[in-house]
């Protein structure tokens, strides 16, 4: 399996503070994705990357930014966290070995209080 790790696994933060979530992969995959999971909404795409310094928006990108300075790292930043951003965040890579399905990280549960 492709190695993909997310950090932190859990985080509680206050409204208005910046937060950065990290995704790290060890398999040199080109495509990486950030999703958020909310009850009744399934998983929704926030941002994705198709290479170093190449990123684009997904369907729920407002309030989020991303960066990819190295192939292995994809960072998701909440510039000023709001309670509506309380969610579970998943990083994923597109894995040809899985028929172009995703391999997911273990997720980050973020609570904004």
Partner 1 sequence: AQTVTQSQPEMSVQEAETVTLSCTYDTSESDYYLFWYKQPPSRQMILVIRQEAYKQQNATENRFSVNFQKAAKSFSLKISDSQLGDAAMYFCAYRSSTNFGNEKLTFGTGTRLTIIP
Residue position matching structure tokens 């040809």: 96
Among 11, 24, 44, 57, binds partner 1 (CB under 8 A): 44
3-class SS at 96?
helix
In the complex, the smallest distance separating the C-beta of residue 99 from partner 1, rounded to whole angstroms, is 5
Please, which residue, 83 or 99, has the CB nearer to partner 1?
Answer: 99
Q: Does 43 bind partner 1 (CB under 8 A)?
A: yes
3-class SS at 84?
helix
Q: What is the dihedral of CA 72, 75, 76, 78, to 10 degrees?
A: 170
Tell me which stretch binds partner 1 (CB under 8 A): 11-19, 62-70, 71-79, 86-94.
Answer: 86-94
The whole-angstrom separation of Cα 85 and Cα 60 is 11
**Contacts with partner 1, residue ranges (CB under 8 A):** 31, 33, 35, 40-45, 48, 50, 58, 88, 90, 92, 94, 98-104, 106-107, 109
């Amino acid at each position: 399996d492709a190695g993909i790790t997310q950090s932190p696994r859990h985080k509680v933060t206050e409204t208005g503070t910046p937060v950065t979530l990290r995704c790290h992969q060890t398999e040199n995959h080109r495509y990486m994705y950030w999703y958020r999971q909310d009850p009744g909404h399934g998983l929704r795409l926030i941002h994705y990357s198709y290479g170093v310094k190449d990123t684009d928006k997904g369907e729920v990108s407002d309030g989020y930014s991303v960066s990819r300075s190295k192939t292995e790292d994809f960072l998701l930043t909440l510039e000023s966290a709001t309670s509506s951003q309380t969610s579970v965040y998943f990083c994923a890579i597109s894995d040809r070995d899985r028929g172009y399905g995703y391999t997911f990280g273990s997720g980050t549960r973020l609570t904004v209080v």
